Amino acid sequence: MRAFVAFFVLAALCCAAGAASQQYDGRTLYAMHCASCHGMALEGGSQAPPLLHVDAGMVDFMLRTGRMPAMVPWEQEYHHRPQFTEPQIAAIDDYVMSRSTGERSLPDVTLPPAGYGLRKGRLVFEENCEQCHGAGGHGDGAVGYHNVAPSIMDDSPREIAEAVREGPDVMPKFGRKIIDDESLANLVAYVGYLQHAQYNPGGMQLANLGPVAEGFMAWTFGMGILVLLIRRIGETE
């Protein structure tokens, strides 16, 4: 009886170990979740682009931000909960890069000490990011092809750095000649400030949406007061 129980426990452990190894096997995960669109040989197709020359930063960004696997092919995806765990993301990254000729290293996300680099990061943000993502980083700016610039309020430092270097969707790809590593670190620090600090971009603070939204609210409130005033004058006459 003891031998039977021992055999049963050993078999269960072997099955669990096999399932765990399969869970984090990049090739298996890719075949199950990616190959139907990108092809078994990373050749791409009518549903998705090829991955034969993709960078590790792009693969990691798309998986980490939940943009892939995509719900609808060729439609803009937005940041949401990733469908894979950290070990699974790393496994898929490794498998794709074992067959891709792209850059294998991930962008450096070393941040400056707390409080440093914010002024320089703000200048980088104003010159390269604010036109689409907005002064407060809330996005929604039209960028063509029926796409809009997404909010960056939920992006981690790693995801911001990967987006800058890789240029997902229609976003430009900023190489080191445009934004060097030090400027990138300052930019990431400034975006972190936008995400967490209590600040006021202008006028009455409305969830840090910026002066345009605040101006619209002021205009609406002012018009309401004006209409009430006109009605009151009409009633008194």
Spell out the domain ranges in the chain.
Answer: 14-105, 107-197, 203-237
Residues 73-102: pLDDT tens digits? 888 888 999 999 999 999 999 999 999 999
Cross-strand bridge partners of residue 86: none
> The pTM is what?
0.74
Give domain 14-105's CATH architecture. Answer: Orthogonal Bundle (1.10)
Q: How far is CA 172 from CA 4, 42, 62, 63, 178, in A?
A: 63, 24, 16, 19, 11
Instruction: Please tell me whether residue 113 adopts helix, strand or coil conformation.
Output: coil
CATH architecture for segment(s) 107-197: Orthogonal Bundle (1.10)
* pLDDT beyond 50 at 7: no
Which residues of the chain form beta strands (DSSP E)?
A: 142-144, 147-148
**C-alpha angle 128/133/134, rounded to 5°?**
95
Q: Tens of pLDDT along 209-218?
A: 566 666 777 7
Mention every residue, 6+ apart, whose C-beta is less than 8 A from residue 191: 121, 125, 137, 152, 155, 157, 160
- Assess whether the region 14-105 and the region 107-197 belong to the same CATH fold: yes
Where does the pLDDT of residue 204 fall: very low under 50, low under 70, confident under 90, or very high at 90 and above?
A: low
**Pick from 48, 57, 53, 59: nearest CA to 26:** 59
* Calpha distance 102→94 (Å, rounded): 12
Give me the DSSP letters along 17-43.
HHHHHHHT-HHHHHHHHTHHHH-TTS-
The pLDDT, as a whole number, for residue 21 is 42
